[in-house]
């Protein structure tokens, strides 16, 4: 910290990195510490989902037909998950991780075109994923699955909702990076700013890598 914003000897430029006694940047250490804490946060949500899995007394249920309360009376409800849509969303999120490392590569090499192209693609993928989740929630709600309908709905909406809010924050963060890049304010020496956002984005991706099979594919 003490070395923050000090002039680099012999270079005549401002060193904006926040070095620690380990030689590592404090901001990068901080984001990794934050990601570590987020692992425990999502683990508790996933564990809660698993604990209550298969214990719902009424439908709608994720994979099987069930009896559920619709319009004030009990009736048969179909399985609620749409695996093809979520698989597509998962693929889009995975591609966004690829796109953001390509954008970071462009930022580090000073290739502005590469940076802007791939960062725009990442933001678009993120927006698509959020849109998919909004559509899914809307669709589920209209099939009778409210937040407090059953144990499945409460744990499902909490887990995927928190993940979705993380994706939304990631999209906002990456969008600010895109604006900086468009204004020419993301030169190679400031590529770490994008790297921090990219680390957060990859974390959001790896959380989904766990959620997708555990929630959607395991019956």
Nearest CB to another protein, comparing residues 70 and 180: 180
Please count the residues of the chain. 219
Distance CA 82, CA 135 (A): 11
| 6 token code pair | 């000090």
Phi, psi torsion values for 214, nearest 5 degrees? -65, -45
| Residues engaged in binding another protein (CB under 8 A) | 8, 15, 17, 19, 22-25, 28-29, 32-33, 35-37, 39-40, 42-44, 46-48, 50-51, 63, 83, 87, 90-91, 94-95, 97-98, 100-102, 105, 108, 188-192, 195, 198-199, 202-203, 205-206, 209-210, 212-214, 217-219
User: Least Å distance between CB 23 and another protein?
Assistant: 5
3-state helix, strand, coil in the chain (%, to 5): 65, 5, 25
Nearest CB to another protein, comparing residues 32 and 128: 32
Nearest CB to another protein, comparing residues 136 and 205: 205
Task: Select from 139, 164, 131, 132 the least CA-distant residue to 80.
Answer: 139
User: Least Å distance between CB 143 and another protein?
Assistant: 20
């Amino acid at each position: 910290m003490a070395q923050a914003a000090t002039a680099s000897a012999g270079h005549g430029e401002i060193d904006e990195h926040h070095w620690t006694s380990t030689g590592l940047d404090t901001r990068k250490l901080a984001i990794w510490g934050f990601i570590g804490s987020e692992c425990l946060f999502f683990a508790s949500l996933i564990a809660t989902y698993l604990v209550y899995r298969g214990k719902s007394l009424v439908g709608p249920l994720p994979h099987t037909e069930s009896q559920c309360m619709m319009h004030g009376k009990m009736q048969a409800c179909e399985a609620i998950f749409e695996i093809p849509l979520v698989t597509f969303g998962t693929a889009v999120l995975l591609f966004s991780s690829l796109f953001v490392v390509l954008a970071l590569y462009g930022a580090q090499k000073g290739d502005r075109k590469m940076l802007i192209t791939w960062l725009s693609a990442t933001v678009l993928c993120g927006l698509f994923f959020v849109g998919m989740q909004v559509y899914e929630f809307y669709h589920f709600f209209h099939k009778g699955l409210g937040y407090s309908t059953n144990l499945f709905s409460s744990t499902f909406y909490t887990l995927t909702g928190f993940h979705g809010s993380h994706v939304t924050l990631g999209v906002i963060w990456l969008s600010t990076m895109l604006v900086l890049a468009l204004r020419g304010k993301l030169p190679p020496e400031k590529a770490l700013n994008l790297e921090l956002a990219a680390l957060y984005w990859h974390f959001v991706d790896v959380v989904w890598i766990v959620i997708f099979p555990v929630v959607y594919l395991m019956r």
